[in-house]
Amino acid sequence: MDVALQIRLLFLGGLMAVGSLALGAGFVLSRLMHQREVWRACAMFSRAVEQLEVTPDVLRALLSHLSAAEADWKPAPQRFSVAEVVAHLCDTETQVFRTRVHRMVEEDGPQLDAYDQEAIAAGGGYAGQSAQETLKNFQQHRTDNLTYLRSLPADIGNRVGMHPELGQITLAQLLNEWAFHDLGHLRQIAELLRAYRFYPHLGAFQKYYTVNP
Ligand code: NI
């Protein structure tokens, strides 16, 4: 073999070594980035579960001195009373969140059912229930749901489902929506109490505030 050929072969070998090193590094990098996404999804999943754990205590505290009039006051015909907010939370606990999580865990990319809260409210589905009774049911459903969520493997957040309006969603996103939904309705109850229980009695201080129950 002449020297020129040997040099060319060596050069080719070097190129192949560098190429496979680069491929290997790229593979490792992509695995690391994927793993980072998994860890991030796990972290956001557990942040959401932490909120789901504390919501019943916050809700119970907000409702602890609720009078019947405060429970049933509707700021407008289309707006929820405190009792209706609690009924809505109780209903979504099983009809929306538990059902969706369960299906996304058990099935591959299931087509999720729609939930029309306007239709349920218009049909009186949230009306006429005792806030304290509904609170008890909500607490029981939430306890069951947390037991179920804690039984799932840490990387379960990457499971997907097909939302009827939004298309593909992940389980981690659904969990974050669940926690976000909790806080929105806790804020709504706080706003209803601000508007009904305290705002009318602020006197001159009303000038500083607006309420939007
Ligand atoms: Ni809601």
Residue 133 located in a structural domain: yes
- In a domain, residue 16? The reply is yes
Residue 175 domain-assigned (yes or no): yes
pLDDT computed for residue 91 by the predictor: 96
**pLDDT score at 62:** 97
- The predicted structure's pLDDT at residue 151: 95
Residue 195 lies in a domain: yes
How remote is the CA of residue 65 from the centroid of ligand 1, in Å?
23
Identify which of 3, 9, 43 has the alpha carbon closest to the alpha carbon of residue 157. Answer: 43
Sign of CA dihedral 194, 197, 198, 203: positive
213 within some domain: no
Q: Which domain holds residue 183?
A: 3-208
In a domain, 77, yes or no: yes
Does any domain span residue 10? yes
Instruction: Give the pLDDT of residue 1.
Output: 65
CA of 84 to the centre of ligand 1 (A): 10
Positions of the chain with pLDDT lower than 70, given as ranges: 1
Residue 185 Cα to ligand 1 midpoint, Å, equals 7
Q: In CATH, what number is assigned to the domain containing residue 110?
A: 1.20.120.450
Give the H or E element holding residue 114: none
- Ligand 1 centroid – CA 152 distance (Å): 25
Distance 189 CA to ligand 1 centre (A): 12
Tell me the CA–centroid distance for residue 178 and ligand 1, in Å.
9
113-160 pLDDT tens trace: 999 888 888 888 898 889 999 999 999 999 999 999 999 998 899 999
- This prediction has a pTM of 0.82
CA of 70 to the centre of ligand 1 (A): 20
CB 156 within 8 A of CB 102: no
> In the numeric block, which tokens belong to residue 145?
């749901």
Q: 26 in a domain, yes or no?
A: yes
What is the number of structural domains in the chain? 1
